[in-house]
């Protein structure tokens, strides 16, 4: 099998830097593609956290002026990950997260910081970096969205890598004012409907969707949803136009990082045949989040960014009924300040019955999956979702809104599924307070039937949540595209 080289252009990657599921996906998929003959190299910005973790990196290229300062391209290896890191201190050497300053505000120059990521990705895709020339450039989310556009406008008829744009979340689109166009180094004609123009401004994700050879998103159901008026969030008609190039490929997880029988971050290891030690994790979790320690009470958990997408307000409104069933609720998350405060208020209102940790804590994330009995996911939309996959693997029963990837990955334990012995969780629809409440009542009723509960847990733990199947689909896509590697079409033909 000939090897295909793919440059993955991405703004975060686990274990170097993570704010959400994108990092998990970018960090875990490459290892599963290697056996398929696909060699992934990930291009990431040289944030402080990244530079501090890459050790002996080798400079392979210099960009004398990358949007206002010099930049070096460093080649590094971290575990199984082959990396190219953009060392550009004027853009990335800062405190805070990849996107926000320490006060939680977007960095004012994010448009430039991620245009730079995309411009470097495109330069590599055009063969301008002698040391490395990929067959495919795979851009993730709006931060890498300009990559296919730069490849198009800077190509001038040269051979270029094939391109894929993957949507992890259509809600974040990277919209910027039109006067940025010359600063971005894009030609005036790019300001057109079939260019980067988007509602009078410049749309980074739109640009990627316009120019990528193929588009993927992270679950089949979300691929359908984003082609609708509501789910399309302004990009639905473009996506409908390109439906033949759009594919939903379900995310998988790294089962070596998320393995309850080997997990060093939890209090007690367990597996499908020895579930009992979960109790120790439950007690430890209750202690950590300030809940009354009691293994007999049903403990429902939530771990998430605290945002509208995730339906945190739905959960908070449903709390009186949920707690009325006798259950406890543990919340781990950070995000919008008002939501963080609302979660804190709930803890004050229901001491010992609602517990929380506001912040980002990877270790606690593992303990929650290992100790909670059920995981609540009242998301209004969810492109894929990874926490329900971790939950399945950890015997934590997912209770999910039937949207996007949640709908594709959890089998509702209704009577029919139970008769077949295949239910793995609870689904509810639509994501409203009433529907979450009735789901909570179902969960509480199931919890009272230990044998049935155990069966649902075991079904979940047996579910294949690995990358194996999806890695093959990505590999097929890369193969298909490289068979069709092409020269940049003249502008006239595209218009
Ligand atoms: P999204 O990318 O939309 O945030 P995903 O479910 O795909 O949602 O991925 C979220 C990832 O971030 C998971 O790995 C989850 O465990 C992790 N996570 C979310 N919030 C926290 C938190 N407060 N502390 C630790 N990990 C978190
Ligand atoms: C996004 C989505 C989430 C998905 C993740 C990784 O952040 O919100 O549903 O799992 O990307 O693809």
Q: What is the pLDDT of residue 150?
A: 98
Report domain extents, the chain: 4-252+468-482, 278-461
Instruction: Please tell me if the domain spanning 4-252+468-482 has the same topology as the one spanning 278-461.
Output: yes
Reported in sequence order, the residue ranges of 226-370 that DSSP labels E, i.e. its strands, are 246-248, 299-306, 328-335, 354-358
CA-proximal residue: ligand 1, atom 4 (nearest) = 20
Closest Cα partner for 481 from 137, 153, 148, 34? 137
Closest Cα partner for 61 from 130, 148, 161? 130
Name residues whose C-beta falls within 8 Å of residue 104's C-beta, 6 or more positions apart in sequence: 337
Of the candidate CATH numbers 3.40.50.2000, 1.10.10.10, 3.30.70.360, 2.60.40.10, the domain formed by 278-461 belongs to: 3.40.50.2000
Q: What is the pLDDT of residue 170?
A: 98
Q: Ligand 2: distance of its center to the CA of 341 in Å?
A: 24
* Binding site membership of 169 for ligand 2 (Cβ less than 6 Å): yes
What is the distance between the alpha carbons of residues 269 and 35, in angstroms, rounded to a whole number?
29
Return the CATH fold of 4-252+468-482: Rossmann fold (3.40.50)
CA-proximal residue: ligand 2, atom 7 (nearest) = 21
Per-residue pLDDT of the chain (495 residues; tens, 9 = 90+): 569 999 999 999 999 999 999 999 999 999 999 999 999 999 999 999 999 999 889 999 999 999 999 999 999 999 999 999 999 999 999 999 999 999 889 999 999 999 999 999 999 999 999 999 999 999 999 999 999 999 999 998 788 999 999 999 999 999 999 999 999 999 999 999 999 999 999 999 999 999 999 999 999 999 999 999 999 999 999 999 999 999 999 999 999 999 999 999 999 999 999 999 999 999 999 999 999 999 999 999 999 999 999 999 999 999 999 999 999 999 999 999 999 999 999 999 999 999 999 999 999 999 999 999 999 999 999 999 999 999 999 999 999 999 999 999 999 999 998 888 899 999 999 999 999 999 999 999 999 999 999 999 999 999 999 999 999 999 999 999 998 444 444 444 443
Which DSSP helix (H) or strand (E) runs through 70? Answer: none
What is the distance between the alpha carbons of residues 8 and 40, in angstroms, rounded to a whole number?
7
CA-proximal residue: ligand 2, atom 10 (nearest) = 385
Angle at 247 between CA 246 and CA 253, to 5 degrees: 140
Name residues whose C-beta falls within 8 Å of residue 11's C-beta, 6 or more positions apart in sequence: 22, 44, 45, 98, 99, 114, 117, 140, 141, 143, 144
* Binding site membership of 219 for ligand 2 (Cβ less than 6 Å): no
How many H helices and E strands in the chain? 19, 18
Ligand nearest the Cα atom of residue 386: 1
* Binding site membership of 82 for ligand 1 (Cβ less than 6 Å): no
Q: Is residue 414 within 8 Å of residue 425, measured between CB atoms?
A: no
Closest Cα partner for 470 from 478, 458, 460, 459? 478
Ligand nearest the Cα atom of residue 19: 1
Name the residue of 20, 97, 379 whose CB sits within 8 Å of the most ligand 2 atoms, as the mutation to test its pocket: 20
What is the distance between the alpha carbons of residues 413 and 449, in angstroms, rounded to a whole number?
13
Name the residue of 24, 141, 218, 403 whose CB sits within 8 Å of the most ligand 2 atoms, as the mutation to test its pocket: 218
pTM for this structure? 0.96
Q: Ligand 2: distance of its center to the CA of 19 in Å?
A: 11
């Amino acid at each position: 099998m000939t090897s295909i080289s793919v440059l993955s252009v991405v703004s975060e990657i686990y274990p170097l830097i993570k704010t959400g599921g994108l990092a998990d996906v970018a960090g875990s998929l490459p290892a599963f593609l290697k056996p398929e003959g696909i060699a992934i190299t990930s291009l990431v910005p040289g944030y402080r956290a990244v530079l501090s973790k890459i050790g002996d990196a080798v400079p392979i290229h210099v960009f004398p002026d990358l949007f206002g300062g010099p930049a070096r391209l460093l080649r590094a290896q971290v575990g199984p990950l082959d990396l190219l890191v953009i060392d550009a201190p004027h853009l990335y050497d800062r405190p805070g997260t990849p996107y926000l300053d320490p006060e939680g505000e977007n960095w004012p120059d994010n448009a430039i910081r991620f245009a730079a990521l995309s411009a470097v990705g495109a330069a590599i895709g055009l063969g301008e970096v002698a040391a490395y020339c990929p067959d495919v450039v795979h851009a993730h989310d709006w931060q890498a969205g300009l990559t296919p556009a730069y490849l198009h406008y800077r190509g001038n008829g040269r051979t270029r890598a094939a391109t894929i744009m993957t949507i992890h979340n259509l809600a974040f689109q990277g919209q910027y004012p039109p006067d940025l166009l010359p600063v971005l180094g894009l030609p005036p004609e790019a300001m057109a409907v079939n260019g980067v123009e988007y509602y009078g401004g410049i749309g980074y994700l739109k640009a990627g969707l316009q120019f990528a050879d193929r588009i993927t998103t992270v679950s089949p159901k979300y691929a359908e949803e984003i082609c609708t008026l509501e789910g399309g969030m302004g990009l639905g008609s473009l996506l409908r136009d390109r439906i033949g190039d759009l594919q939903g490929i379900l995310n998988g997880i790294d089962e070596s990082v998320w393995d309850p029988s080997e997990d060093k971050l939890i209090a007690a290891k367990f597996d499908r045949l020895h579930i009992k030690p979960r109790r120790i994790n439950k007690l430890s979790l209750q202690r950590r989040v300030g809940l009354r320690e009691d293994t007999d009470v049903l403990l429902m958990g939530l771990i998430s960014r605290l945002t509208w997408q995730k339906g945190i307000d739905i959960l908070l409104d449903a709390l009186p009924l949920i707690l009325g069933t006798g259950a406890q609720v543990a919340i781990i998350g950070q995000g919008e300040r008002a939501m963080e405060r609302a979660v804190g208020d709930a803890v004050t209102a229901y001491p010992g019955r609602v517990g929380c940790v506001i912040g980002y804590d990877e270790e606690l994330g593992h303990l929650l999956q290992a100790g909670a009995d059920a995981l609540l996911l009242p998301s209004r939309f969810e492109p894929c979702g990874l926490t329900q996959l971790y939950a399945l693997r950890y015997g934590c029963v997912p209770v999910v809104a039937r949207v996007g990837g949640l709908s594709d990955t959890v089998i509702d334990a209704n009577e029919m599924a139970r008769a077949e012995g295949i239910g793995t969780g609870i689904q509810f629809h639509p994501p409203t307070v009433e529907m979450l409440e009735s789901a909570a009542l179902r969960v509480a009723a199931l919890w009272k039937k230990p044998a049935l509960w155990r069966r649902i847990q075991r079904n979940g733990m047996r579910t294949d949540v690995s990358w194996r199947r999806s890695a093959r689909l990505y590999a097929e896509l890369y193969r298909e595209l490289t068979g069709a590697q092409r020269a940049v079409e003249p502008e006239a033909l595209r218009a």
